[in-house]
Amino acid sequence: MKIVKIAALAMFAAFAGAVPAKAFCLVNCEPKPEHARKVFENLVKTKFDKDAVVEKFDVTRFWPLDVEGAGHAGYEFYFTASVKFPNGANLECKPDAAGAVKAGCSASTYYSTTIQNQMVKEKQYIEPGKVIDFKDETRFDEDGGKWKGQDGNLY
């Protein structure tokens, strides 16, 4: 009986060495809500302020995507989040007394980090200490057995 177990383990080890790592992922290999949160945090800190703090993050929907014609799979998360900006963000874009903003800045109060939503491309002013609520989405694309987030990182 020992010989059979040893032979089975040897065959498994040989198989394991010959098969790419992604082939072992049979169940639960998709990106997780914590990955979506990390992508969101990275994008908020890049777009708004490096000291921003995500106080709340709740995934409301998620599902796998069949990216037709692209030759790879995708995964999409919709979420709500609350972010505190202790230092504010884009302080140079503070509107003047009349409410006018400088060139390159936006007066929009719609905040997003992704291109699928109505992302505002110009800088947006956020006053110090303010908490902003986001209703947003993020997408992952399969890339070599991992998932590439919209922040450019692999998860």
How confident is residue 21, by pLDDT bands cut at 50, 70 and 90? very low
Beta-carbon neighbour count of residue 148 at 10 Å? Answer: 19
List the beta strands (DSSP E) in the chain.
Answer: 53-67, 72-85, 105-106, 123-124, 130-143, 146-148
**How is residue 131 written in tokens?**
């908490």
**pTM, entire model:** 0.78
pLDDT tens digits, 83-137 = 999 999 999 999 999 989 999 999 999 999 986 557 788 999 999 999 999 999 9
